[in-house]
Amino acid sequence: MKKKILITGGAGFIGSHVVRLFVNKYPNYEIVNLDALTYAGNLDNLTDVAQKPNYSFIKIDITNEAAINQLFEKQQFDGIVHLAAESHVDRSITDPLAFIRTNIIGTVNLLNAAKNQWNGNFEDKRFYHISTDEVYGSLGKEGMFTETTSYDPRSPYSSSKASSDMLVRAYFHTYNLPVVISNCSNNYGANQFPEKLIPLAINNIKNNKPIPIYGKGENIRDWLWVNDHARAIDVIYHQAKLGETYNIGGINEWTNIDLIHKLCEIMDKKLGRASGESAKLITFVTDRAGHDLRYAIDSSKLQRELGWKPSLQFEEGLEKTVDWYLANEQWMNNITSGDYLSYYEKQYKNR
């Protein structure tokens, strides 16, 4: 069936993988990619789909209520997959308001626009909000986040995402808006902006620069290959029960320091360095304020109800990721010659 789907944040890391999957898998869907092209948005991520007949791009900031309303007056959407967000915890510590504006107000602008456009005719309509496991807070050594774990966000980033999740739920209960939410663990893979741990470390190892590890590197994250997240988003968009939340994760917990040692081993091999050479770059720096100790996500509901499971083992995914960054030097150079350089100098100056 012909459908028009608005994907927000499609020029970013995860969004670009979702856009690619939907454009290629559903030639009968019209995919509209809406993105403000902030420092994290990069149309280089989508050169392979840019010319496809079922793809279009529109530059709008979701905090601009009038522009969002105008778009929804001009175009009718069957579905919205909402990924646009400020996404980096460290930036949220230095500039919380940017996160409040985009993640909370921007989300409400989209919810209102969808509500007004659909005007109670919700058949075959979907508002799918992409969120994070960070809304659940921080775990001790035991346990996992399930869909019923109470929200306990602890950074401005996770608090703004938690607020947006709550508002999406409120629109389901108050206005019957046909919403779905998913909360995913840490993603890794091609096209991730090099402020995040894995691409930052790959880039620094390659350039023989220190690899900054916050605190003692004992914090634990659950890592999922971005393509597996995109597959989960596809399954959830098409099959989820309305009003439901699904956790998405890799069942793949690593301390930061073990992960970086694994990455150093792979990089030694790929760069023809002696074993142990890259690990010499590991540098412990001042910890992140309020650094959550551990995230672990139970995705059994998604596996049981919708049949999704991760496709890749972490070592294989990490190696593919390293291969991608080494083969796409120009992508990285285009980023590191811009905004990222001044961010990097500020962020790591005193550490």
Q: Does the annotation mark 265 as catalytic? A: no
Written as six digits, the tokens of 155 are 């950074």
Least Cβ distance, residue 47 to ligand NAD (angstroms) = 15
Least Cβ distance, residue 159 to ligand TYD (angstroms) = 13
Pick one of ligand TYD, ligand NAD, none as the site partner of residue 331 (Cβ within 5 to 8 A by kind): none
Residues 274-303 that bind ligand NAD (CB under 6 A): none
In the sheet that holds 253-255, the strands lie side by side as 186-188, 220-225, 253-255
Q: Does the annotation mark 48 as catalytic? A: no
Q: Does the annotation mark 218 as catalytic? A: no
The distance of Cα 34 from the centroid of its chain, to the nearest Å, equals 15
83 φ/ψ angles, rounded to the nearest 5 degrees = -115, -15
Interacting residue with ligand NAD among 81, 84, 177, 302 (CB under 6 A) = 84
Interacting residue with ligand TYD among 8, 63, 92, 219 (CB under 6 A) = 219
Least Cβ distance, residue 210 to ligand TYD (angstroms) = 10
310 φ/ψ angles, rounded to the nearest 5 degrees = -60, 145
Sign of CA dihedral 316, 318, 320, 322: negative
Catalytic residue among 29, 128, 157, 171: 157
Nearer to ligand TYD, 127 or 295 (CB): 295
Nearest to 182 by CA among 196, 168, 201: 168
Written as six digits, the tokens of 97 are 């308001």
- Looking at 48-155, list the stretches that DSSP marks H as alpha helix, in order from N- to C-terminal side: 65-74, 89-94, 96-99, 107-118
- Nearest-angstrom CA–CA distance, 224 and 252: 7
Least Cβ distance, residue 158 to ligand NAD (angstroms) = 9
Least Cβ distance, residue 340 to ligand TYD (angstroms) = 12
Written as six digits, the tokens of 308 are 């999704």
Written as six digits, the tokens of 166 are 């709550």
Interacting residue with ligand NAD among 184, 232, 259, 322 (CB under 6 A) = 184
Q: Which residues are catalytic?
A: 133-134, 157
Contact residues: ligand TYD, CB under 6 A: 89, 186, 196-197, 200, 212-214, 219, 221, 256, 288
Residues of this chain that interact with ligand NAD (CB under 6 A) are: 9, 11-15, 35-38, 40-41, 61-63, 83-87, 102, 106, 130, 132, 161, 184, 186-187, 193
